[in-house]
Amino acid sequence: MVFLILSVLTCCVNTNQSSLNSSNIPEKELTLGIVQKEIKVGMSQADVISVLGSPNIVTRDSEGRETWVYDKIATEYFYTKESEGIGTGVGAGGIPGTTLVLGLIGGGYEKEKGKKIVTQKTLTIIIKFDKNSKVESFSYHATKF
């Protein structure tokens, strides 16, 4: 009598998701919500710096009033990964009372596929100060694509 052991064909799908940050440097996040909530007409330049940090561009008009520009760009990467695998195996034995023969044949297959999503965000903030270095007006523009 021959004993035959067959392994069941198996298939599995594993989904892993990870988010990659474009920069490993820790930085205070500048968002539209922070600007809307924290920046007020009449604030001092020191208070603006404590909320938003240093501006990217500083200019002066003909009357000596400063305008500060914050221009931020962020790129976010999102990657989904799927793995598929198939494994098989076969084992055999001999007839009882005779020589026992064991053998194992195995095989496998694995395939990975995924999807990468890239999103870019921009935030531009323009703050104009009066002759006393207080916030006179501010505007902003945000995009996401």
Domain boundaries, the chain: 4-21+42-144
- Residue 15 bridge partners (DSSP): 82
Helix or strand (DSSP H, E) at 52 = helix 45-52
* Rounded distance between C-alpha atoms, residue 52 and residue 71, angstroms: 11
51-78 pLDDT per residue, tens = 999 999 999 999 999 999 999 998 988 8
Q: What is the pLDDT of residue 130?
A: 97
pTM: 0.57
Instruction: Look at 6-10, 34-38, 63-67, 131-135 and tell me which has the smallest mean pLDDT.
Output: 6-10
* Tokens linked to 6: 């067959």
109-121 pLDDT per residue, tens = 677 778 889 999 9
Q: Which phi and psi angles does 48 have, rounded to 5°? A: -65, -45
Instruction: Look at 7-11, 85-89, 134-138, 139-143 and tell me which has the smallest mean pLDDT.
Output: 7-11
The secondary structure of the chain in percent helix, strand, coil, rounded to multiples of 5, reads: 10, 60, 30
* Tokens linked to 97: 């009372």
pLDDT of 36 > 90? The answer is yes
Q: What integer best gives the mean pLDDT of the chain?
A: 77
- Residue 75 bridge partners (DSSP): 120
